[in-house]
Structure 1
Amino acid sequence: MREWTSPGPLGTAVVAVVATVALGGCTTPLKDQRLQPGVTSGAEVQQLYGPPSHVWSEADGGHTLEYATQPFGRTCYMVRLDAQDRFVSVVDGLSPASRNRIVPGMTPEQVNRILGRERTRVFFKLSGEDVWDWNIEPEMNGYLLRFNVHFKNGVVFRTSQSVVYPDRRFFWDD
């Protein structure tokens, strides 16, 4: 007989990640044919996807609706609306192209406008680095991948990636 080992808080996180992956085939703002540039209103976007996690004001009078899925998801949809509150475009803020836009010297606000809300923030006293991380899509199944942005003196110092391997505590004991 197999006995289940309690997964604890980290196990709960793994279950949430698995659920997110299982729902990955559902319609997302990137693939949603109902979102028509110049036609779909901001209110219609919110009817489809709910309230955004953050709303960014744009210089042209438009807005960007942030749909962050952290701390368990691996996407952050940035839905751009024009000054007339009409859909313009959508990007995944955590795509490789978006992550490549993060360069030394950027402020935390500039980073959040591109990547969306972070999963965690950890300050490392000895190095003086404040490290924010985001779950991102791994290149292969079997592990989790995190994109890290290292801030020093209030600006981006560097970026890195961390692999999170599964913990054997989340499997059945024989």
Structure 2
Amino acid sequence: MRAVALILCSLLLAGCITAPRLQPSLSRSEDVVAAYGQPRRIWPEADGGRTLEFSSQPVGRRCVMVRLDADGRLVRIDDGLSAASRARIQPGMTHEQVSRILGTERSRVYFQLSGEDVWDWNVEPDQGGYGLRFNVHFRAGRVVRTSQSMVLAHRRFPGVAD
């Protein structure tokens, strides 16, 4: 049994078992849904296209954002939680602007003393050994700053984050 599990893991790591390859301008919305399942949200775009959000929150570390044109053809696929996407979050942005970039958040917490509403996302850490959360701090519905938080494994339950 252990040998079978090792072989499957090796195949997955080698990329032999993957979702169907999607190609810009050729793949259609049906192909995207077949590869990723039903989107969590669909964002309308000004040009008549739309962006399909496939967020893995609250436990995952990715948010696949699939941009389709007005005819339903694939334009591009982005990871909404990549370092480049997180760098796009700037002071003054609204809740919707942030969600359109990062996707659905893991959690929201309101801190009464600071007046901040803090949303967070699990993201890929720079190195192993800990989890990482990207936090966006809002005041009066606008971004005031961003931060990151390390998430250490629970002492009593190794492998489970606090």
Say whether the fold is shared (TM-score over 0.5).
Answer: yes
- The residue number in structure 1 matching 2:156 is 169
- The residue number in structure 1 matching 2:55 is 68
Residues 58/95 of structure 1: CA separation in 2 closer, same or farther (3 Å cut): same
The within-5 A match list for 1:18-57 is: 34-57=21-44
Which structure 1 residue ranges, 5 or more long, are not aligned? Answer: 1-21
- 2:96 maps to 1:106: no
Is the 2:51–2:66 Cα contact (8 Å) retained in structure 1? yes
- 2:53 maps to 1:86: no
CA deviation map 1:34-78 (0-9, x unaligned): 211111110111011110010000000001000000000000000
CA deviation map 1:115-138 (0-9, x unaligned): 000000000001000000000001
Task: Give the Cα–Cα distance (whole angstroms) in 2 for the partners of residues 143 and 96 of structure 1.
Answer: 17
Is the 2:20–2:35 Cα contact (8 Å) retained in structure 1? no
Task: Give the Cα–Cα distance (whole angstroms) in 2 for the partners of residues 120 and 143 of structure 1.
Answer: 19
Provide the aligned C-alpha RMSD in A: 2.1
Instruction: Name the amino acid aligned to 2:111.
Output: F
CA deviation map 1:58-117 (0-9, x unaligned): 000001000000000000000000000000100000000000000000000000000000
Instruction: Name the amino acid aligned to 1:45.
Output: V
Please state whether the residue corresponding to 1:34 is helix, strand or coil.
coil
Shift of 1:26: 7.0
Please state whether the residue corresponding to 1:170 is helix, strand or coil.
coil
Higher-RCO chain (CA-CA 8 Å, sequence separation at least 6): 1
Task: Give the Cα–Cα distance (whole angstroms) in 1 for the partners of residues 86 and 150 of structure 2.
Answer: 16
Please state whether the residue corresponding to 1:113 is helix, strand or coil.
helix
Which structure 2 residue ranges, 5 or more long, are not aligned? Answer: 1-8
Q: Which runs of 4+ in 1 moved over 4 A?
A: 25-28
Q: Percentage identity across aligned positions?
A: 59
TM-score, normalisation: structure 2: 0.85
2:102 corresponds to which of 115, 120, 124: 115
